[in-house]
A and B are shown apart, each in its own frame.
With several copies, the nearest count.
Chain A
């Protein structure tokens, strides 16, 4: 378990963040309870499906949904293809983590706007690009340590969300 966790959670910081979140959730029962309630009522359960429209259940996701419908990947990738790891465990852990975090944020209404992707989720998205495009990027990355890989998003940040 610890090994697979390390594989799912890219950095130490986000790992301890995860642990902290889980502990906080358990210890502070009332907050956790509200979070759970929100999760259900605000159809946080939509995190568990692959339907992009489900993400847009939260109106704060509407813009991203709209922008996705105009993007080059509209026909080839849904939200989860880019925003969750491409393995079973990681996928549902990430969903749970994000689902919990976003439900809390949505309820407390205290998040930064415009919404910004977290470093952890950014890394997951980068990995998603690499998974699908393994072949084509091989030439440009094969000569480097994985931590010296060039960031896809530096040039292609709009593939999933095209503005207008």
Chain B
């Protein structure tokens, strides 16, 4: 009774402008006064719930001086020690965990053991904190300038400039609440991509549709990246396209490497979370389905609809995330996803075993005295096989965002491992 009356009221007042928001209002709690539904949900990204391949599991740990966290997520290295071999000599071989909710992004970056084994630049912060206000402050009002300055700071120094994990201001215009892209990395990356397709001077904030923006705000961070040059400029390698093999071609052309593999001596690459790139190759992107449609589906709060700001695995919210479009029972939709993921996982494991074989053989040849010349082709194969495999491995949907494309990339990877093994044979 009351509930109907309330709803009729609510419908007329979708929100109350309790406080005035400006382009300097960083603290999400203040935004939350105007938008309590969104804020409440946003705070729930602290929840940790496991799905078959995603979500995250709360692992208790004893806090230490160096790392005060009492709960972390699962170690992926313990789950699959082949990853340690794949990344031998690189910080990832020390610590790599299942990713969890947005609430943790800043502390997880600060305390990862990767910080202890390698000196990281301020660039890292771009995707792990609310940087919009800090960048503008550092740049004297100029976002890009602030970005450039922070990139070149040591991580410790940069860290002190930021306070919150990704916040309202990073995705929303405080006046209109419209979506906006605030990340220089994405602004430059998408511009380069569009230029390669013949569209000059692309600016998502003025040229993208609303539906595109519902993915672009996520593409600000959920992408493959590297640090370019001595200025450590954050760069999205999209100059030849978004596909794994196109990105690899770009790295090969520029001669970039992330590190030299400790066991084989190959000039290796590390792929990271290319969700945006993979989603782009899938049927959902092609059908105009955005990240937010599945990861922030609309939910009804009384008489109005709000986007669920509890960003998480859609498998924890199948009815809202999928059933608006797919009229199958929840259990059936879950099985469909898991079937796709199981297949991806099987192929990933096959490609991984092949890579282990190759690394082992290069290492053995090296130890038995093979020259760099002899090893060159096999190492080039390793570099390629490894990057392609990692592209699927690092992509967090376990193939769901683009099942056949993930399989194609794994096939390429497996073939490079095979050719690497053949190359050793030929040269010996």
Contacts and interface: CB of A to CB of B under 8 A. Distances in A.
Interface of A: 34, 37-38, 41-42, 59-60, 106-107, 109, 112-114, 116, 135-140, 142-144, 148-150, 154-158, 162-163
B303 A155 contact: no
Interface residues of B, number: 31
Contacts of A42: 4
B105 interface: no
A59 B324 contact: no
B41 to A, nearest CB: 13
B176 interface: yes
Given A113-B299, A137-B304, 20 more contacts: A42-B4, A106-B4, A107-B1, A107-B4, A109-B3, A112-B319, A114-B320, A116-B323, A135-B11, A136-B300, A136-B304, A136-B305, A138-B11, A140-B298, A140-B304, A143-B176, A143-B177, A144-B178, A148-B210, A163-B325
B306 interface: yes
B334 to A, nearest CB: 16
B327 interface: yes
B21 to A, nearest CB: 12
Given A139-B306, A144-B178, A113 B300 contact: yes
Given A41-B4, A143-B176, A155 B306 contact: no
B320 A155 contact: no
Interface of B: 1, 3-4, 7-8, 11, 14-15, 176-178, 209-211, 288, 293, 298-301, 303-307, 319-320, 323-325, 327
A24 to B, nearest CB: 19
Given A135-B303, A139-B14, A144-B178, A114 B323 contact: yes
A42 B11 CA distance: 14
Contacts of B3: 107, 109
Nearest to B15: A139
Give the 10 A-B CB pairs with smallest separation, nearest first: A135-B11, A139-B304, A143-B177, A139-B14, A155-B324, A148-B210, A114-B324, A138-B14, A59-B303, A114-B323
Given A42-B4, A155-B325, A140 B288 contact: no
A49 to B, nearest CB: 20
A144 B325 CA distance: 24
Contact of B288 (A135, A148, A154): A154
Nearest to A137: B305
B7 A59 contact: yes
B7 to A, nearest CB: 7
Contact of A139 (B1, B4, B305, B323): B305
Nearest to A134: B11
Contacts of A136: 11, 300, 303-305
A136 to B, nearest CB: 5
B319 A59 contact: no
Given A114-B324, A135-B303, A150-B210, A143 B178 contact: yes
A60 B300 contact: yes
Contacts of B8: 135
Contact of A59 (B11, B307, B325, B327): B11
B326 to A, nearest CB: 10
A142 B177 CA distance: 9
Contacts of A148: 178, 209-210
Contacts of B307: 140
Contacts of B319: 112-114
A138 B304 contact: yes
Contacts of B293: 155
A144 B178 CA distance: 7
Contacts of B7: 59, 135
Given A135-B304, A136-B303, A158 B327 contact: yes
A113 B301 CA distance: 12
B327 A162 contact: yes
A136 B428 CA distance: 72
A139 B355 CA distance: 51
A140 B303 CA distance: 12
A7 B343 CA distance: 48
Contacts of A157: 327
A137 B303 CA distance: 9
A142 B166 CA distance: 24
Nearest to B35: A139
Contacts of A114: 319-320, 323-324
A140 B325 contact: no
A68 to B, nearest CB: 16
Given A34-B1, A107-B4, A140 B327 contact: no
A38 B1 contact: yes
A158 B15 CA distance: 30
A143 B303 CA distance: 17
A60 B293 CA distance: 19
Contacts of A116: 323, 327
8 contacts: A41-B4, A59-B11, A135-B303, A136-B304, A138-B14, A139-B304, A140-B306, A155-B325
Contacts of B177: 143
Nearest to B14: A139
A59 B6 CA distance: 13
A106 B3 CA distance: 9
Contact of A113 (B288, B306, B320): B320
